[in-house]
Chain A
Amino acid sequence: DAGVTQSPTHLIKTRGQHVTLRCSPISGHKSVSWYQQVLGQGPQFIFQYYEKEERGRGNFPDRFSARQFPNYSSELNVNALLLGDSALYLCASSLEGGESTDTQYFGPGTRLTVL
């Protein structure tokens, strides 16, 4: 069975540009969460979506936005990129969302470098 997939694998952008990252959850999973992982640190929560609705948002600026599509795939958008946005962006999927204790399974991530 396919796990969580993310695209692209790597991405290089310059300051001020915008970027769109994509995620496909495990088949049957309805919830997608996004995390940012800076080198040497643990992942930081950005968003959670369930049934196309935002269910949670972390402490990230409005430059970060996301959406979930009817097929449960998701996009993370970042505008006006800053050097500090360079990180590994992880997508995790789970069966349900919100306050359930369903396990979150992570994809391989997208490595974003901002020059």
Chain B
Amino acid sequence: GESVGLHLPTLSVQEGDNSIINCAYSNSASDYFIWYKQESGKGPQFIIDIRSNMDKRQGQRVTVLLNKTVKHLSLQIAATQPGDSAVYFCAERWWGQGGKLIFGQGTELSVKP
């Protein structure tokens, strides 16, 4: 069925530590994945994306890893800051129906000072 699931609903880390948020996807035919950050009362904000012909992509303080063998995606945030506190969603683009995004439930990241 249509599902992109997250392993952990909540994650609490100390400021300055690295954070890892995991995601499992179900459609082996999907070839484009995106991570979004959503702060309370706001719309999802694009963080980073990755195509299935890659297994790693780095941005500013963020890294996305893709393991197609086990259909697993992760987001690593280096030196986590209080401003990183939010809900993080992974999304999978499905071909057909306009290339809709399938989102998981999200992981709430809480950064302790």
Q: Is the CB of B89 within 8 A of A106?
A: no
Interface pairs (8), CB distance under 8 Å: A33-B98, A33-B100, A43-B89, A43-B101, A43-B103, A90-B44, A97-B99, A101-B99
CB neighbours of A97 from chain B (8 A): 98-99
The residues of B with any CB-CB pair to A shorter than 8 Å are 4, 32, 34, 36, 41-46, 49, 51, 89, 91, 93, 95-106
Q: Is the CB of A56 within 8 A of B98?
A: yes
Q: Is the CB of B103 within 8 A of A101?
A: no
Q: A6 to nearest B CB, angstroms?
A: 8
Task: Please report the C-alpha to C-alpha distance between residue A97 and residue B61 in the assembled complex, in whole angstroms.
Answer: 30
**Taking A45-B100, A48-B98 as contacts, is the C-beta distance between A101 and B43 under 8 angstroms?**
no
**Taking A40-B105, A90-B43 as contacts, is the C-beta distance between A106 and B36 under 8 angstroms?**
yes
Chain A residue at smallest Cβ distance from B32 = A101
